[in-house]
């Protein structure tokens, strides 16, 4: 069945111009929404860039403090090592002093025994 009827005059059927206008209004609404989303995304990106800058500054400061602390720790280790050497030297001297004191006491006892009158 081939029906050639003009349907433009039917009640409730939109004309091609009305359909184009409706499609255009839908596209305009979508464009407005897209622009709003784009503005929000740009604001978010700007906030993220600012946060990144703050984090990078904080990271650089923390790295500087870490390097300074590591240098201080290294100097403290060197100082501790030098003090440890000094302490070991003092312990050796104290040990030698004790040995000399014991030897001196032994010699004093021998001397005292020699000075006592013989019966």
Predicted local confidence at residue 89, as pLDDT: 94
- Using DSSP, state whether 15 is helix, strand or coil: coil
CA distances to 50, 77, 87, 91 from 101, rounded to whole Å, are 75, 35, 21, 15
| Residue 13 DSSP one-character state | P
- Quote the radius of gyration of the chain (alpha carbons, Å): 50
Per-residue model confidence as pLDDT tens digits over 34-67:
999 999 999 999 999 999 999 999 999 999 999 9
> Averaged in consecutive runs of 10 residues, what is the pLDDT profile of the chain (119 residues)?
60 82 96 98 97 97 98 96 94 96 94 80
């Amino acid at each position: 069945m081939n029906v050639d009827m003009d349907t433009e005059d039917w009640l409730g059927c939109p004309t091609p111009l009305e359909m184009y206008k409706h499609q255009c209004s839908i596209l305009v609404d979508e464009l407005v929404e897209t622009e709003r989303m784009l503005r929000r995304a740009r604001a978010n990106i700007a906030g993220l860039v600012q946060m990144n800058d703050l984090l990078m500054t904080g990271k650089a400061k923390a790295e500087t403090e870490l390097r300074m602390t590591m240098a201080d720790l290294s100097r403290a280790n060197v100082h501790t090592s030098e003090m440890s050497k000094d302490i070991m030297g003092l312990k050796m001297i104290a040990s030698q002093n004790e040995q000399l004191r014991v030897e001196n006491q032994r010699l004093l006892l021998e001397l005292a025994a020699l000075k006592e009158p013989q019966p």
